[in-house]
Each structure stands twice: as C-alpha cells, then as structure tokens.
Amino acid sequence: LAKTTQPISMDSYEGQEVNITCSHNNIATNDYITWYQQFPSQGPRFIIQGYKTKVTNEVASLFIPADRKSSTLSLPRVSLSDTAVYYCLVGAVSGGYNKLIFGAGTRLAVHP
Amino acid sequence: NAGVTQTPKFRVLKTGQSMTLLCAQDMNHEYMYWYRQDPGMGLRLIHYSVGEGTTAKGEVPDGYNVSRLKKQNFLLGLESAAPSQTSVYFCASSYSSPAGFSEAFFGQGTRLTVV
C-alpha cells in the first residue's frame, strides 16, 4: 500500500477555504485516494474518494493532478464543526484483500 | 438500520483477564476490520476479515485474536489483557468492490482500560 504524508496540523478560521494536501509518491496504477474525517470520541467517517482529476460532493472537493502523486482535500467555508482529524488513505484491493491503513492524519482546528 | 454496533462501549479489565469485543453490522458487508486508537494517534489495524470464516493479521495483531463465524459479526478477543492494550477500539465494515476502496462504516468505539 502506498505510504501517505500529510501535515500534522492546520489552523483556519470560520468561513475560510481549507486545503489539506496529501503526498503519495508511490501510488500504484489501480490505487484510489480516499479521505476520512474523525471527530473526538467517534469513529472515522468517509468524506470523499477519487481516482484522478476532480471529484466534488456536498461536503468537499478532491483535486488529483495528472501524475497522482499528491491530492488535495478542499473544504469550502469551514465552520467550527469542521474541527476534526482528516485522514488520507491510498490503496486498492490487493491480492484479494482490502486493507484500510490509516496514517497519523491532519488535525484541523477552526477558530472563530 | 443500525449500521455497525460495538459491544460493550466501556470496559475496565484487570491485567491478565480476558474479554471479547463484539462487532455487528447489518449492511451485509463482506469486509470487517478491528482497529485500536491510542490518545492523539491515528488508527492502527489489528485484524481484518474479507468474508465469513476468514481472518488476517493487520499492523498490530500481537495479543489479539479474532473470529468471523457469521458474516455479520466480527469478534476481537484479548486472551490475557495487558496495560499496553488500554485503548479505544473501533470496528468497521465495508462492501467488496472490484476496484479501489469502498466506503467503510465505523462503529462508535469501545473504550478499554486495563489496570
């Protein structure tokens, strides 16, 4: 599974756009990029997944450049409730097994 | 539709005691996972299962055993609890996908303290 590197923490203010970048230099051809969000004392929650270019849903956008060696999660107009840890996962079904390996994640703190 | 349910939510064990954590999902998912999360850390995969009757080791399997006798249940056992196993345990499930990851659904967690 491709190793991912994310910033340990980020700070932002309400109403701003937040972009969290994840590096995955050794991403494989059949790997997908998935982001999860985790609030304190809760299990992670799926945010968005993509393979290439741009994916958008009601919560976030995911930008993936052509070389796919990095990806950026974009949260538009954050609020205090977006304070959470965000995890970037890269991988695919490998040898018939689907592992979900989490890194340390990025702690986002949104301030008033 | 309850999703993923973990039992119990809290537990305190004495060193050397054993216990079983139960994870139940009602989404007919093929894949199930057990994680532990220590304070301020990310999730670490303990064991996972790709179907009924199958299990596999994750990143930190030592000191734990698992069983998947029924598709909807994934049990995590601690044979002889140690203080180092004090953690929050999360269970997750996901459906199989021909390519890429499918969305995983997590339980609410079990907070285990070993004294």
CB neighbour list of residue B55: distance below 8 Å, 6 or more residues apart: B47, B48, B49, B66, B67, B68
Kindly write down the DSSP assignment for every residue of A10-72, as one continuous string: EEEETT--EEEEEE-TT--TT-EEEEEEE-TTS--EEEEEESSEEEE-SS-EEEE-TT-SEEE
Around Cβ A59, how many Cβ atoms within 10 Å?
15
Select the more confidently predicted residue: B23 or A97.
B23
Of A89, A104, A105, the CB nearest to B101: A89
What is the identity of the amino acid at A16? Q
CA distance A102 to A78: 24
Chain A closest-CA separation from residue B77 CA (Å): 20
Query: Contacts of residue B109 in chain A, CB cutoff 8 Å?
Result: 41-43
For chain A, say whether B38 makes contact (Cβ under 8 Å).
no
Of B4, B92, B109, the CB nearest to A100: B92
CA distance B107 to B3: 8
Instruction: Tell the residue number behind the tokens 């070993």, with chain if given.
Output: B114
Pairing of strands A53-56, A61-64: antiparallel
pLDDT score for B25: 97
Per-residue pLDDT of A34-60, as tens digits, reads 999 999 989 999 999 998 989 999 999
Per-residue pLDDT of A27-36, as tens digits, reads 888 888 899 9
Looking at chain A, which residue has its C-alpha nearest residue B41?
Answer: A104
What is the identity of the amino acid at B17? Q
Per-residue pLDDT of B64-97, as tens digits, reads 999 999 999 999 999 999 999 999 999 999 887 6
A103: closest CA among A23, A29, A42? Answer: A23
CA A77 to chain centre: 17
Alpha-carbon torsion, ordered A81, A87, A92, A96, to 10 deg:
-100
Chain B closest-CA separation from residue A96 CA (Å): 8
Chain A closest-CA separation from residue B103 CA (Å): 6
For chain A, say whether B94 makes contact (Cβ under 8 Å).
yes
